[in-house]
Amino acid sequence: MNINLAINEGSKILKSKFIPNPLLDAEILMAKTINKDRNFILLNSDNVLNKNDISYFFELIEKRCLGNPISYLINKKFFWNSEFFITNDVLIPRPDTELVIENVLNLTKQKSKA
C-alpha cells in the first residue's frame, strides 16, 4: 500500500465517522506515521509503506475516530508562533486564547504610549 492509498482509505474511515476535515486529518496522521512533513507526503504519495507504518497509521485513524484530538495524537500544537509538545496531561492551546493575548498586548502597548 502506498501513501496516497492509505491516506484515501484513512480519510474515508474518518468521513464515515463524521470527523471534520477527514482528508487533512489523514494527511497529518500520515506525516506523523512516517515522521515527515505534509509536503513530503504530498510530493511522495507513491512511496510504498511498510507493514508497521500501515498498522500504526490505522491505529491513529481509529483513535481519531474515537474523538481524540489531532494534537494529542501527533504530540504537538502551534500556538502564538511557537510549537509546543502536547500530551494527554496538558490542555491544548486554543485559537481563542491567541486573540486574548493580542488584545492584552494591544492594551499594554497603548498604555505604555500614554
Whole-number Å distance between alpha carbons of 106 and 104: 5
Q: Tens digits of per-residue pLDDT, 34-70?
A: 999 989 998 999 999 999 999 999 999 999 999 999 9
Beta strand spans in the chain (E):
76-79, 82-85
pLDDT at 112 > cutoff 80: no
Is residue 73 very low, low, confident or very high in pLDDT (cuts 50, 70, 90)? very high
Residue closest to 91 by CA, chosen among 72, 66, 67: 72
Of 5-9, 12-16, 38-42, the one with minimum mean pLDDT is: 38-42
Cell (9 digits) for 36: 515527515
